Structure 1
Amino acid sequence: MSNATPITVVGNVTRDPEIKFTPSGVAVARLSIAATPRKFDKATNKWIDGETTFWACTAWRSLAEHVTESLRKGDRVIASGTVTTQRWTDKDSNEPRERMVLDLDDVGPSLLWADATVTRTGRRNAPAADGPWDNFGTPDAARPQTPTDDNPPF
């Protein structure tokens, strides 16, 4: 989406990410991130929590696989992506429903209160390159990846 507005959310994973595969074999992971703003109240000399916002998030392809292998409930993360609106009709009440979802472009652990060890993985179905960009200037997450068989990738 060329006109989509990217946002960054810092918060905690509220449940272990779940991975599924589309009929064509593309991995998709779902997770939720809770973001609670804090501010310092000079009058009381204390930190005050604001209202928590819960973000439903989706990750696709190799990012989905890395998310489910790396993140767990309670992990503090920094996630960036674009917001989309999902609309549907409720089966029971026949009422229209909608929710905002953060389609992740990237996500990783916050190192504010944690240590992390990065393990690089090989890129699937792609020629070797010197960085996260292929020879055509397309980021890995945006380049379609075709599964080689119907088995899960791990």
Structure 2
Amino acid sequence: MPDTITVTGLVATTPRHLVTSDGLPITSFRLCSTLRRYDRAENKWVDADTNWYTVTTFRQLATNVVGSVAKGQRVVVTGRLRVREWATEDKHGTNVEIDADALGHDLSWGTAVFSRTVAASAAAEATQSGETAGHADAGDASEAVGDGDAEPGDELAAARAQRATEAALPF
């Protein structure tokens, strides 16, 4: 059974994104996490040791991470922990890796704006049924409802457009 871990920390390297020959998107970066505690004797905050992790994301999460996360930002990562020993002729060590299931900005340190992505299959289905990928319909719906001089039937059309937009989204 894999160990699940949640870590808060600082993105220490620029996220590296690649797509395998099979079309699998992968994004990885190094994450540092330092425990801070208040030392009452010295009347100040002190840092403990820093833990280093390699965070790896796959599929849609990898695509979203490369477009959302940058070096120096504080994040929260949840995923499967893997600890691996390694050795070469003259060195040896331990790699601590997290295969991320979820990742987001740590809102204890700032604010973020969320933009929902539309899966490629849902966008293709919406296009085939004569709709757009969802963003234009949502905008049209809000404009129709927001107009003071809208026709009585526009509200019904706006509600239908909103439902079609939500149906095209992956979850």
| TM-score, scaled relative to structure 1 | 0.73
Identity of aligned pairs, percent? Answer: 31
Structure 1 vs Structure 2 CA RMSD: 2.3
CA distance in 2, matches of 1:44, 1:98: 34
State how 1:48-127 maps to structure 2 within 5 Å.
48-86=46-84, 90=88, 93=89, 98-125=94-121
Alpha-carbon contact 2:118-2:170 (below 8 Å) kept: no
Task: Return 67-76 or 123-132, whichever deviates more.
Answer: 123-132
CA distance in 2, matches of 1:82, 1:129: 30
Deviation track 1:97-118 (CA, whole Å, cap 9, x = no partner) reads 6522111001000111211000
Q: Which has the higher contact order (CA 8 A, sep 6+)?
A: 1
In the other structure, the counterpart of 2:24 is: 26
Closer, same or farther: CA 97–47 of 1 in aligned 2, 3 Å? closer
CA distance in 2, matches of 1:71, 1:53: 20
Deviation track 1:14-33 (CA, whole Å, cap 9, x = no partner) reads 01101111120100111111
Alpha-carbon contact 1:16-1:68 (below 8 Å) kept: no
Which structure shows the higher helix fraction? 2
Closer, same or farther: CA 51–130 of 1 in aligned 2, 3 Å? same
- SS of the aligned residue for 1:66 comes to helix
CA distance in 2, matches of 1:130, 1:63: 15
Amino acid at match of 2:113: T
CA distance in 1, matches of 2:91, 2:12: 28
Unaligned runs of 5+ in 1: 133-154
CA distance in 2, matches of 1:94, 1:124: 47
Q: Look at both structures and tell me which one has the larger radius of gyration over its CA atoms.
A: 2
Alpha-carbon contact 1:37-1:52 (below 8 Å) kept: yes
Unaligned runs of 5+ in 2: 126-166
| TM-score, scaled relative to structure 2 | 0.67
In the other structure, the counterpart of 1:15 is: 13
Alpha-carbon contact 2:118-2:169 (below 8 Å) kept: no
Amino acid at match of 1:76: R
Alpha-carbon contact 2:119-2:170 (below 8 Å) kept: no
- SS of the aligned residue for 1:43 comes to coil
